[in-house]
């Protein structure tokens, strides 16, 4: 129950753009992913966590792309590499395989962020 409350609080902070940099600096991306890896069976918690991950990562890519375009070489996003190492593929697969309209779209969106 406490994990669900913390995930709901994190989701509320993620919805506020002014907190995004702080949350990224405080390593919320790997923290949210590690909780998502442990709670794959709980649909509501998984949906909140993956939704929060998507909000943060979308913000991150939106504000780091102009800096990356200045360099001619393609550089992998370090946060995305870290998420891959922590098992994001397992969470994405679990989301996409769920028969729930609240979880599957977020898993597909997360997969899209990895591909693009």
**How far apart are alpha carbons 20 and 10 in whole angstroms?**
11
Share of the chain above pLDDT 90, in %: 0
Q: Give the pLDDT score at 25.
A: 82
Note down the domain range covering 62. Answer: 2-115
Query: Residue 102 is encoded by which pair of tokens?
Result: 């609240």
Q: Which residues contact 44 (CB under 8 A, 6 or more apart)?
A: 4, 102
**How far apart are alpha carbons 58 and 69 in whole angstroms?**
17
DSSP assignment, residue 47?
H
Closest of 52, 49, 79 to residue 64, by C-alpha: 79
Q: How many domains does the chain have?
A: 1
Round the CA-based radius of gyration of the chain to a whole number and report it: 14
User: Mean pLDDT across the stretch 70-79?
Assistant: 62
Query: Residue 59 is encoded by which pair of tokens?
Result: 């913000």
- Contact criterion met (CB below 8 Å) for 83 and 29: yes
H-assigned helices in 1-116: 2-14, 20-25, 28-38, 43-70, 78-85, 88-97, 104-115
Q: Give the pLDDT score at 75.
A: 63
User: Mean pLDDT across the stretch 44-48?
Assistant: 85
* Structure-token match 């992998």, residue found: 76
Q: Give the pLDDT score at 6.
A: 81
């Amino acid at each position: 129950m406490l994990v669900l409350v913390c995930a709901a609080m994190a989701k509320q902070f993620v919805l506020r753009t002014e907190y995004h940099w702080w949350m990224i600096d405080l390593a919320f991306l790997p923290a949210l992913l590690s909780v998502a890896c442990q709670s794959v069976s709980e649909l509501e918690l998984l949906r909140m966590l993956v939704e929060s991950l998507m909000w943060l990562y979308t913000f991150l890519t939106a504000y780091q792309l102009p800096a990356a375009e200045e360099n001619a070489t393609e550089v992998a996003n370090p946060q995305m590499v870290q998420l891959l190492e922590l098992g994001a593929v397992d969470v994405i697969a679990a989301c996409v395989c769920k028969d729930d309209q609240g979880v599957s779209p977020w898993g597909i969106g997360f997969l899209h962020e990895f591909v693009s």
